[in-house]
């Protein structure tokens, strides 16, 4: 699922990528655990992955850690 999310985003299908990435996070660690790992507020993560958010921001967040 994670790979599909990344491939969708790289193909500029951000909506599909966002949905898949959110599903992946919820099915694995969850937002709160991810927040602890990357030291980011869960509300920020929800904004990033929301319908109006920019999932590419997640890559910037992760690459800065």
Whether the pLDDT of residue 64 is over 80: the answer is no
Sign of CA dihedral 26, 5, 48, 37: positive
Quote the pTM value. 0.67
Instruction: Say how far apart CA 55 and CA 36 lie, in whole Å.
Output: 19
- % of the chain with per-residue pLDDT over 70: 85
Instruction: Say how far apart CA 42 and CA 35 lie, in whole Å.
Output: 6
Q: Give the pLDDT confidence score for residue 33 in this predicted structure.
A: 81
- Measured in whole angstroms, the distance separating CA 31 from the mean position of its chain's CA atoms is 9
Q: To the nearest 10°, the Cα dihedral for 3, 42, 28, 19?
A: -40
Whether the pLDDT of residue 4 is over 90: the answer is yes
């Amino acid at each position: 699922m994670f790979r599909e999310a990344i491939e969708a985003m790289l193909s500029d299908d951000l909506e599909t990528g966002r949905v898949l990435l959110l599903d992946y996070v919820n099915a694995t660690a969850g937002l709160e655990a991810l927040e602890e790992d990357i030291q980011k507020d869960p509300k920020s993560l929800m904004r990033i992955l929301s319908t109006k958010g920019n999932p590419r921001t997640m890559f910037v967040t992760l690459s800065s850690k």
